[in-house]
Amino acid sequence: MRLAVREVLQLSERCFSAAGLPEGSARAAAEAVWWNELYRGSGVTTLQDLLPALSEWDRTALTTSDRTDFVWVVDGSTQPSLVASTPAVDLACAGASHHGVGLVHARTASADETVPMLGYAAYAAAERGLLSVVLATGGTGRPRTVIARPNDPHPLVAERELDTASAAHAALSAVIRRGVCDRQDNPLTQAFFTGAPESEYATAGERLLNRLLGQSVTPSDPESHLDSGFVLLCLDPDHARHSGDLRCVVDRFVDERGAELTRTFRPSEVSDRVGTALAEGVAVEEAVWQDVFDRSSEVLAPEFEGSYRGAGFEINE
Amino acid sequence: MATNRDTDSYDPNQLRDPAELMQPQRLASLKQTRLSFARLLMDKMIEEEWDVRPTRMDLDDRGVGRVVYTIETPERLFSFGIFSHASGDDANTDRIIAEDWDMWGFLCEGRATPELMDAQYEQLPHVREGRATSDILIWTRANRSSRFFGHVVDALAEGHQPDVDFCARGGYLMRSSGYYGNGLNGTKEFKSMDGDHPLGKPYFAQMLTVWLLRIFSYDLADHVAGARSDDAATLDHDIKRYLGTGNSSGIGIVHYLINHPQLLHSWLRAREVALARAKTIDPTPEEIERFRTVLQGAEQWFTDDECDTKDYFVSKDQIAGGLERTERRMDELRREPAETPLWTRLCEWAGDEFDPETEELLHSLLLDVYPEVCAALAESMTVSERSDVVPEMTVGTLESIVTTDYQWALDVDFDAPGAERYFWYRSIDSEEPRLGIRGEHDYEEYGFPVDIARQVQELHADLTTWEQTETVAAFLFEHPEYRDIVERIQTVRDLRYAEIRANPLDADFIPLSFISCLKAIWGIQKAHPKSQGWVRGTFYQGAPLPEDLRTGADSYWLYPSKPRQTERWREQ
């Protein structure tokens, strides 16, 4: 059977609302489901897989253990990354807007089936006009990196799956472990500045970003241990703090190292997918839909005897 | 004051203050205008001479069976597939939880093939779980009017025309209730309609379906009467023109308008801009006479209308009286020397003299004189509903927006008796929207967040405890419960007509105001309340019929006069 895009969003939002997520968080999570359906073809199926655990999701379980103006360390060790990703996107975007860089390091549950949906975090930040990188490890599937760059009409999104956590994830996590609040330097600088001469890019910002991207698709030492979780990094390419053309760095990286990327979603390709989905709907197995539909119906009040007398007390009588 | 013949500009200062327009009482008074969707669609159908014909009419003597109409536009072919029943009076509740209807139908792109009809016959009765295909634009359901349909069939079967005065009390033979489209049940998404799609404007698919129901109701009456008697008459063309399609709407519209603030703003703004332009035009003598004509037509129509407005609407006689006074006042004002344009002075006078309903009707009639001021605005009524949080905004800025744009919400006294009497929810029974009384009825935990004012107050209370320089992102991290209302406030920040200034939780809240507002935007002409939360009404009275479209119909069809032979037919 086929579902309209609107139905995917509505059913998903209702499932999350029924599980107790606040309205705004439920809608953001529903958009992540839709993104996963559009980009990976598995949003609704993933949602069905998540249904048994939804009642344990608790947005209020997230806490912050450290922060500076543009770095947040979030502890969500009992929660899946999809619960943590919405506030993480907001925090990283706010940091990037004000300071040029925003970074959120989040610990999430080790048994996390939503890791493949984290690409939505990078996408959502790029939709807000920011360059973004998600570095994730733990949970279902392999460690991964998702890079997104604003574009029209959809962001460019590139993904790399790895056998171990990326070197960039390991480097940034090491900086976070050392504590961020008492340090003057940008964690990016701490993690990726080498001091070695480099001629490929003219500005420090470009060189730093290029190194970050390079290490984001490079596996870390298999012996290194990282907690389950993710890092979301956002950069405002137009912020006065940055010099050079950061967008161009991402474009070149994706073009020149495309062979290392597991998949790349170009804006035109995504436009075609959106057009097809809007015109034809998305294919879903009926059993999957039935499970999701039943769970989504929990936002609706049960039938009762008074149903047949009127829709509103003193209104329709 | 300068007069304005430039149809692309307007004085922003002429737009009404939302503090006036967005009051429920004022919104309840709005009338259909040239920018209402039913009229915009009919303009297009007339201009492009759409060809509408029945291509299948398999009905038994009671009118039970299957019917298909095809609609040919210059760009595309559509079909309206109908499953006609005769459910009996007891089942005609019009509520969406009803289990039987006199017709189910669907509007689709292309042809309604027998295979598609068979498949949809199985699906249409299932409001929640039924499945359409992506070339189906609308599902709809309707009931025959037990009073008027039966009367018309009886009269026709006896070989004469029905009593028009009697029929005019309702103004329709069939009454629709519920349109399911834009992705619901797998129907075609509005966003997927390209720029040339004939129904690619808001509510065009729904309004075409409403009009097609009108045509079907006439053909059905003729068929049933013909089956009853070989000497049966067929319904006279003038009566068909005079009648329309009934519609029944309830409290679900309250949810809709609260949940679609961007749409509400764009639709109301277009109307206000058109009015602001029209009022500043210094009219020619021909335009004055045109206004006099539409004024007199409306006056007669309201004089003839015998619908019971109960306590919720102004009586039709009072409105007719107001229109009569307006004509006299217009002539007086013409004779008075003034620098201010005539329409500005007339509207100011009406604002001082009349109830809001008559005043808004006057505005609507004024726009009828100036189609050119509305023409370009129709495009502005299709808007994106995209919304997002602005996480980098500071708490101080957000608080400032709240205190300026939402002072009306902060002024609601939730400690007052009855201020939180109701909660709103949906039942699993066809997702029917319902009201419950807080503290007395079950299911409060299923409540829907229609309480914008209360949410704003709670948000404001917490915002004031935060550092003004902190970001909204940081605030929402600690207060995820506010993400929805913050996103709303940030999204509609510059949309002056997005928020209706009402508290739907209040014991004195009257859903009728919201329902009437949206029905006016749709283009309903006649509205008569069944209760404070349920409005029946009539679309398309006076609108062209298929044969009129083929022969070049007049584009102005509002407020039709009763057919000239009404007296003679009554005596039959």
Of A25, A128, A281, the CB nearest to B483: A25
CA distance A164 to chain B (A): 30
| pLDDT in the model for residue B159 | 96
> Are the C-beta atoms of A264 and A253 separated by less than 8 Å?
no
CA-based torsion, B159, B163, B168, B173: positive or negative = negative
Look at the block and give the residue holding tokens 């079967």.
B157
φ, ψ for residue B423, nearest 5 deg = -125, 155
Q: State pLDDT tens for residues B345-384.
A: 999 999 999 999 999 999 999 999 999 999 889 999 999 9
pLDDT surpasses 70 at B111: yes
Judged by CB atoms closer than 8 Å, whether chains meet at A5 and B182 is answered as no
Q: CA Rg, chain B, in Å?
A: 25
Query: What CATH number is associated with residue A150?
Result: 3.30.1370.60
pLDDT surpasses 80 at A193: no
> Are the C-beta atoms of A145 and A135 separated by less than 8 Å?
yes
Same domain, A183 and A91: yes
- Contacts B123 to A, Cβ<8 Å: none
Query: What CATH number is associated with residue A34?
Result: 1.10.1530.10
Q: Taking the mean position of all CA atoms in its chain, how far away is CA B460? A: 34
Please compute the mean of the pLDDT values over residues B225-252 and round it to a whole number.
95
pLDDT surpasses 60 at B293: yes
| pLDDT in the model for residue A88 | 98
> Are the C-beta atoms of A84 and A76 separated by less than 8 Å?
yes
In a domain, A316, yes or no: no
| pLDDT in the model for residue B461 | 98
The pLDDT confidence band at residue A122, using thresholds 50, 70 and 90, is very high
Same domain, A43 and A170: no
Of residues A317 and B401, the one with the higher pLDDT is B401
| Chain pair A-B, CB pairs under 8 angstroms | 155
Same domain, A95 and A182: yes
> Are the C-beta atoms of A146 and A118 separated by less than 8 Å?
yes
pLDDT surpasses 90 at B486: yes
Please compute the mean of the pLDDT values over residues A78-101 and round it to a whole number.
97
The pLDDT confidence band at residue A264, using thresholds 50, 70 and 90, is very high
Please compute the mean of the pLDDT values over residues A205-215 and round it to a whole number.
93
Q: Taking the mean position of all CA atoms in its chain, how far away is CA B72? A: 25
Judged by CB atoms closer than 8 Å, whether chains meet at B391 and A97 is answered as yes
Same domain, A68 and A213: yes
| pLDDT in the model for residue B104 | 95
pLDDT surpasses 60 at A182: no
CA distance A215 to chain B (A): 28
In a domain, A307, yes or no: no
pLDDT surpasses 60 at A317: no
| pLDDT in the model for residue A186 | 73
| pLDDT in the model for residue A72 | 96
Q: Which of B483, B484, B508 to mutate to test the interface with A (most CBs of A within 10 A)?
A: B483
In a domain, A194, yes or no: yes
Burial A137-172 (b: 16+ CB within 10 A, else e): bbbeeebbbbbbbbbeebbbbbbbebebbbbbbbbb
Q: What Cα–Cα distance (Å) separates residue B260 from each residue in A22, B491, B518?
A: 19, 11, 11
Same domain, A282 and A224: no
Of B131, B183, B476, the CB nearest to A87: B476
Q: Mean pLDDT across chain B, nearest whole number?
A: 93
CA-based torsion, B250, B254, B260, B262: positive or negative = positive
Q: Which residue of A has its CA nearest to B481?
A: A22
DSSP state of B419: T
pLDDT surpasses 80 at B303: yes
- Contacts A97 to B, Cβ<8 Å: 391-392
Q: Mean pLDDT across chain A, nearest whole number?
A: 91
Q: Taking the mean position of all CA atoms in its chain, how far away is CA B241? A: 20
- In chain A, the number of structural domains is 2
| pLDDT in the model for residue B170 | 87
Q: Which residue of B has its CA nearest to A84?
A: B477
| pLDDT in the model for residue A192 | 76
Judged by CB atoms closer than 8 Å, whether chains meet at A301 and B434 is answered as yes
> Are the C-beta atoms of B185 and B96 separated by less than 8 Å?
no
The closest of B394, B388, B387, B395 to B459, measured between CA atoms, is: B395
In a domain, A219, yes or no: yes
Same domain, A207 and A236: yes
| pLDDT in the model for residue B274 | 95
Q: State pLDDT tens for residues B276-285.
A: 999 999 999 9
The pLDDT confidence band at residue B315, using thresholds 50, 70 and 90, is confident
Q: State pLDDT tens for residues B133-173.
A: 999 999 999 999 988 999 999 999 999 999 999 999 889 99
Question: What is the spatial distance between Cα A144 and Cα B253, in angstroms, rounded to a whole number?
Answer: 45
pLDDT surpasses 90 at A188: no
Q: State pLDDT tens for residues B393-439.
A: 999 999 999 999 999 999 999 999 999 999 999 988 878 888 888 99
Same domain, A189 and A259: yes
3-state helix, strand and coil shares in percent for chain B, rounded to the nearest 5: 45, 15, 40
Judged by CB atoms closer than 8 Å, whether chains meet at B186 and A94 is answered as no
The closest of B447, B516, B430 to B28, measured between CA atoms, is: B516
| pLDDT in the model for residue B47 | 95
Of A87, A95, A311, the CB nearest to B251: A311
Of residues A58 and A313, the one with the higher pLDDT is A58
Question: What is the spatial distance between Cα A233 and Cα A101, in angstroms, rounded to a whole number?
Answer: 7
Please compute the mean of the pLDDT values over residues B479-494 and round it to a whole number.
97
Judged by CB atoms closer than 8 Å, whether chains meet at B427 and A275 is answered as no
Q: State pLDDT tens for residues B58-92.
A: 999 999 999 999 999 999 999 999 999 987 655 55
Same domain, A42 and A167: no
Same domain, A9 and A87: no
Judged by CB atoms closer than 8 Å, whether chains meet at B483 and A299 is answered as no
Q: State pLDDT tens for residues A226-240.
A: 999 999 999 999 999
In a domain, A247, yes or no: yes
Of residues B249 and B52, the one with the higher pLDDT is B52
Helix (H), strand (E) at residue B180:
strand B172-181
Question: What is the spatial distance between Cα A110 and Cα A115, in angstroms, rounded to a whole number?
Answer: 10
The closest of B371, B395, B554 to B475, measured between CA atoms, is: B395
pLDDT surpasses 80 at B311: no
Question: What is the spatial distance between Cα A96 and Cα A181, in angstroms, rounded to a whole number?
Answer: 17
| pLDDT in the model for residue A315 | 54
Same domain, A168 and A271: no
Q: State pLDDT tens for residues B526-572.
A: 888 878 888 888 999 999 999 999 988 888 999 999 998 887 877 76
Residues 6+ apart with CB under 8 A from B204: B37, B40, B41, B44, B198
| pLDDT in the model for residue B90 | 54
The pLDDT confidence band at residue A15, using thresholds 50, 70 and 90, is very high
Residues 6+ apart with CB under 8 A from B107: B78, B79, B80, B136, B137, B138, B140, B205, B208, B209, B212
Judged by CB atoms closer than 8 Å, whether chains meet at A4 and B189 is answered as yes
Of B472, B474, B480, the CB nearest to A59: B480
| pLDDT in the model for residue B528 | 82
CA distance B280 to chain A (A): 40
Same domain, A78 and A212: yes
Q: State pLDDT tens for residues B468-483.
A: 999 999 999 999 999 9
| Residue range of the domain that includes A284 | 1-57+267-301
Percent of chain B clearing pLDDT 70 (strictly above): 97
| pLDDT in the model for residue B1 | 47
Question: What is the spatial distance between Cα B340 and Cα B327, in angstroms, rounded to a whole number?
Answer: 18
| pLDDT in the model for residue B259 | 95
pLDDT surpasses 60 at B312: yes
| pLDDT in the model for residue A110 | 92
Judged by CB atoms closer than 8 Å, whether chains meet at B427 and A24 is answered as no
Q: Nearest-5° angle of CA B418, CA B520, CA B542?
A: 145
Question: What is the spatial distance between Cα B67 and Cα B106, in angstroms, rounded to a whole number?
Answer: 11
Same domain, A107 and A8: no
- Contacts B481 to A, Cβ<8 Å: 22
> Are the C-beta atoms of B140 and B178 separated by less than 8 Å?
yes
